[in-house]
Amino acid sequence: MPEPAPTFNSTPPPTPLLQPSAPAIPLDTLFDLLAAELALFDASAPYRCVRSNQQFFELLDSYWQQRESLAGVALGELFDRVGRTPIQEVIAQVLTTGEPFRVSLSALRLVSGTERSFYSWSLAPLRDGAGTINGLLLLAQIHPAGRVAPSTPPPPEISDWPASAPQPLLHTVLQASEAHYRTIWAATNDAMVLSDERGIVLEANPAYLELYGYSEAQIIGHSFAIIFPKHQHPWAIAEYQAAFWSASTETSFESAVIRSDGSQRIVESRVTFIEERGRRVAMLSTIHDITTRKAMEQALNESEQRYRMLVNLAPVGIFETDVGGGCTYVNGYWQRLTGLSPTEAMQHGWIKALHPDDLERVLQGSAATLQSGQPFDHEYRFCLANGQVNWVIVQITPIHDVNATITGYLGVMLDVTARRTIEDQARQHNQRYQSVVVALGEGIVIHRQDGTIETANAAATQILGLTLDQLLGRASSDPLWHTVHPDGSAFPGDTHPAMITLRTGQPMRNIPMGVQKHDGSITWISINAQPLYDIKRDVIEGVVASFVDMTDYRNAQAQLQASLAEKEVLLKEVHHRVKNNLQVIISLLRLQALPLTDPAIKELFNDTQNRVHAMALVHEQLYGTHDLAHIGFASYVQQLTTIMLRSYPVPHGQVKLVQDIDAEMVLTIDIAAPLGLILTELLSNSLKYAFPDHSYGVITIHARHSATRLDLVVQDDGIGLPLEHESGEIRSLGLQLVHRLVRQLGGDLVIAGPPGTTFQIAIPLLSKENHP
């Protein structure tokens, strides 16, 4: 009879593992069939390995994986810590408390420094029949990400370790021990079930019962098909029979099963067969719940599909290469940018679409990236079959695995054709702008935001008499400048038009400035300043100042002003001489009239003198003012009426003259002289005929003007004109002269009265029609 089964935590021993009718399961078969990583260690320091299954090697790094056996290797030589607990503390805790040490979803650190991620890890004590701990059982389930180990330096040479275990008989004892067999059967996290050729369950471990949610009574002695939906029972039994008699010695498969609560799980089953005398008598199945893994795989697959969909819809070219740079994937946008199909682009086929001028540069950059593993960032062109050229920016980043080893490259390609087109156009415009600036005879200087000069054209250096190096980087306040105002006063740098524009943002126009050169000469310039705005930030980032050389113009202007001054003196002298000559004529007429006795003839001489007086008065006004082209009409009329009143024997106070003329009215000589003669005739007519028998009266002179018209009204309140005037017949020489002068000025004359007499004269000021 086998010895009593070992127990955990001093609990009563479980029922016998196998019923009398159940065939015996070889310990080696059970050990290697488990999907978990499993190893037995002795219970005395340094806790050397007695036995391990093949899966246990996956917990270790490459050094240990090369060995055929771990027998004799101490537990502390394999592992450094579990989670945050050192392995020696774990061993001490298990041996002291007699309780298993379990950790889930954490990391295992090897002595070499490598880390393994795991779902679960446990170290449980093994007991003999007397309840004494005589071994340690290590069970683990590694996370898939923890199955690939990075390259690490090897541990110390094996020759440094003891060659054999201190208890050489323990392996034989444990291998034959039913108690140890039961411990493994009960402690493993994998579900295990033993069934006969009909599919009747002979034995099931606790993990199996927990996985499906059944009790031992519900499982043992019943068909394994209970874990499938009822309508699938015939199919499940038929599949079982086929596998039992025709499957290879070991096989595995996945299937969907139903728990007792109706929930569905996905399991992975690995089966082996127990034979007696060459005939299969039972199937041992190790079942691992992979529902979570399958859900993760499905989520990963869906994520991959979403990723591929996004990649294909992305408005950028995306591609992948292998570690040698051979293209393995391109998305649709990449194909549009290059004009290549995926088949044409694979491996190094994409090279044929490169622009010939970029080919060597791109290949060199790619080779450098493959050699160094550094990211690749270049801008180049692809030539399409239709002749179109696309500019792209390509960024390539290495893809690393969990060991930081480069497994390939991921590239992103952005279409920058439109940007390059704009840049080329901007470059062309800039070249044109530079050509225009260089060709200009006007000096151009660009100031930065701080007022210093950024650049200047050739005309600026020539006008200022400085080299470009002397200009660049200098501000208007620099002592290099010696500038003056037109009046000779100093021109401070902070009042330079460019500095004012920088401060205020307001353009400056036609500011004169004198620049003193090294030879002492002064160049006169006229400066404009215009702010340069940063459109995005709406701030002034500089000023462009333009200027022209005004020296020759200024000199010519000075000469012209001197010449005009000379001519003004001469013209004043001419007017003075004309006025004097007219005065001589007036004197001659007066002397000629003295001996005359005929009143009519003397009146004619007097009228002639008044007419000459009117013309002489115009010349007198002209040479007496600074403006030789215009005279003030109000003052001219005032002097003319004074002369007229003296010319006629009118008692003082008998006739009152009222003058209503714009004080600001000025007239050119070609209008003032005819108007003077017209006024002379009209005043003479009123003084002689309007007020007979020394009657009292008023003569009013009213004058107004606009930009285009002058209105003159001469009115008296006398007896009015003779009747023949109303019939249109004009016999008076004076009135005939008035009509001719008004027509000469292109004006209109209207005569009204009685009562009194009113002469209304309208003369255009912009265009005059001279009537014959």
Q: Which region among 152-161, 687-696, 761-770 has the lowest average model confidence (pLDDT)?
A: 152-161
Lookup result for tokens 């599919």: 199
Question: Do 468 and 446 form a contact (C-beta atoms < 8 A)?
Answer: no
Task: Calculate the CA 169 to chain-centre distance.
Answer: 78
Q: Residue 48 is which amino acid? A: R
CATH number, domain with residue 349: 3.30.450.20
Are residues 525 and 468 both part of a single domain? yes
DSSP string covering 270-301: EEEEEEETTEEEEEEEEEEE-HHHHHHHHHHH
Structural domains counted in the chain:
5
Grade residue 731 by pLDDT with cuts at 50, 70 and 90: low
User: Do the domain assignments include residue 566?
Assistant: no
500 closest CA partner among 489, 490, 511: 511
Range of the domain at 508: 441-549
Q: Among residues of the chain, what percentage have pLDDT more than 70?
A: 81
Residues 285 and 337 in one domain: no
**What's the rounded mean pLDDT across residues 544-553?**
86
For the ranges 12-16, 419-423, 478-482, 515-519, the maximum mean pLDDT occurs at 419-423
pLDDT digits (tens, 9 = 90+) for 384-414: 999 999 999 999 999 888 788 898 999 999 9
Q: Choose between 705 and 160: higher pLDDT.
A: 705
Answer yes or no: do 349 and 486 share one domain.
no
pLDDT digit string, tens, across residues 472-506: 888 877 777 788 888 888 888 888 888 899 888 89
Residues 81 and 183 in one domain: yes
Neighbour count for residue 40 (Cβ, 10 Å): 23
Question: Which of 352, 384, 418 marks a domain boundary?
Answer: 418
Q: How many CA atoms lie within 13 A of 379 on its CB side?
A: 6
Residue 685 confidence (pLDDT) above 90: no
In CATH, what number is assigned to the domain containing residue 755?
3.30.565.10
Query: Exposed (0-12), middle (13-18) or buried (19+): which is 737, by Cβ within 10 Å?
Result: middle
Scan for tokens 């020539």, then name that residue. Answer: 462
Residue 383: inside a domain, yes or no? yes
Burial class (CB in 10 A: 0-12, 13-18, 19+), 448: middle
Tokens 């039961």 -> residue: 182
Report the alpha-carbon distance of residue 128 to residue 7 in Å, rounded. 9
Same domain, 480 and 514: yes
Same domain as 110, residue 127? yes
Given this model, what pLDDT does residue 32 score? 58
Task: Compare 729 and 592 and report the one with higher pLDDT.
Answer: 592
Average pLDDT over residues 66-93: 84
Task: Quick: pLDDT tens for 604-655.
Answer: 777 777 777 666 666 666 556 666 667 788 887 887 777 777 777 677 678 8
Q: Mean of the pLDDT values across residues 117-130?
A: 79
Q: Which of 549, 581, 602 is the last residue of a domain?
A: 549
Count helices and strands (H / E) in the chain.
23, 30
At a CB cut-off of 8 Å and minimum separation 6, what does 200 contact?
221, 222, 223, 224
Would you state the pLDDT for residue 381? 93
Q: What is the pLDDT of residue 486?
A: 87
- Are 347 and 391 in a shared domain? yes
Is the model's pLDDT at 25 over the cut of 90? Answer: no
Averaged confidence pLDDT in the chain: 78
On whether both 338 and 273 belong to a single domain, the answer is: no
Model confidence at 676, in pLDDT bands (50, 70, 90)? confident
The DSSP bridge pattern shows strands 85-86 and 201-204 to be unpaired
Q: Which of 516, 549, 582 corresponds to the end of one domain?
A: 549
Residue 2 has pLDDT above 50, yes or no: no
Domain assignment of residue 180, yes or no: yes
Is a pLDDT exceeding 60 seen at residue 7? Answer: no
197 and 183 in a common domain:
no
Burial class (CB in 10 A: 0-12, 13-18, 19+), 652: exposed
Instruction: State the Cα–Cα distance between residues 511 and 496, nearest whole angstrom.
Output: 9
Separation CA 718–CA 258 (nearest Å): 138
* Nearest C-alpha neighbor of 410 from the set 507, 472, 328, 496: 328
596 domain residue, yes or no: no
Buried b (16+ CB within 10 A) or exposed e, 138-174: bbbbbbeebeebeeeeebeeeeeeeeebeeeebbeeb
Confirm whether 597 is domain-assigned.
Answer: no
Same domain, 413 and 334: yes
The reported pLDDT for the residue numbered 390 is 93
Q: Omega of the bond prior to 150 within 30 degrees of 0, cis? A: no
Residue 209 contacts by C-beta under 8 Å, 6 or more apart in sequence?
Answer: 215, 216, 219
CA 509 from centroid of its chain's CA atoms: 35
Q: Show the DSSP H helices in 380-416 as ranges.
A: none
How high is the pLDDT of residue 437?
A: 75
Dig out the tokens for 645 from the structure: 């009143």
Is 21 domain-assigned?
no
Residue 560 lies in a domain: no
Does some domain include residue 409?
A: yes
Same domain for 44 and 131, yes or no, is yes
Question: Are 171 and 39 in a shared domain?
Answer: yes
